Amino acid sequence: MIEVIFEAERSNSDVIGLSKIFNIDEPDLRKYLTQILEEEIDGCEFSLSSFFVAEYENSPVAAFGGWIEGKNEDDLPSSILKSNLLSYILPREKISQLYKISEILKEIQIEREMHTHQMEYAYVKSEHKGKGLIGIIIEKLLEKAKLQDRFVKDSYIQVFENNTNAINAYQKSGFKIVKRFESKHPEIFNYLPYNVKLLMKKEF
């Protein structure tokens, strides 16, 4: 799952957003993410339980995470769960780094709507791309969401605009671009793979 997060964070670039935002090198980031995932907190992008994984010959080749926003033990939004996890695991000076650059990031921070289905961190190994694996996993995630809460109607994905392969895959699964968020801050590329993020939606 660490590889999934790393590759999804890169989003067709060499920038791992979490590494740049918190000023953490890759080996330490792996260590911290392992600790975060081991907490097993449901209801955010750092929840092991949210992921479906596709395997080929007993090896994982693709994955995607999904959850219902606010449907967790404490009825909290994923942003709070994620913030609590990061604050608990990361050193204090790394959290301070985030506050220092919050102005740079705020234009493309998308608030997740409560009681909707959310998906984050899609990844397919290069040799298995083009086989429709993400589409299959999306269907599994939507089926799971329906079983969890029959009143959930909308599913959302956030994706950087430069990640055209991912956008095409999501569109094939019925997602449509509903909003575009752009940061014009000159330093945004120091921290994120791209300066435009798209919000995609599917009604189900």
Contact 34, 204 (CB under 8 A): no
State the residue range of the domain holding 135. 2-203
Q: What is the pLDDT of residues 121-170, one digit of tens each?
A: 999 999 999 999 999 999 999 999 999 999 999 999 999 999 999 999 99
What b-and-e string marks burial along 56-80, b requiring 16 or more CB atoms within 10 Å of the CB?
eeeeebbbbbbbbbbbbeeebbbee
Residue 118 pairs in a beta bridge with: 67, 156
What CATH number is given to the structural domain containing 107?
Answer: 3.40.630.30
Checking if the pLDDT of 61 tops 90, the result is yes
Contact 120, 74 (CB under 8 A): no
Q: What is the pTM of this model?
A: 0.94
Mean pLDDT for 18-44 is: 96
| Tally of domains within the chain | 1
In this prediction, residue 204 carries a pLDDT of: 82
- Distance separating alpha carbons of residues 152 and 91, to the nearest angstrom: 37
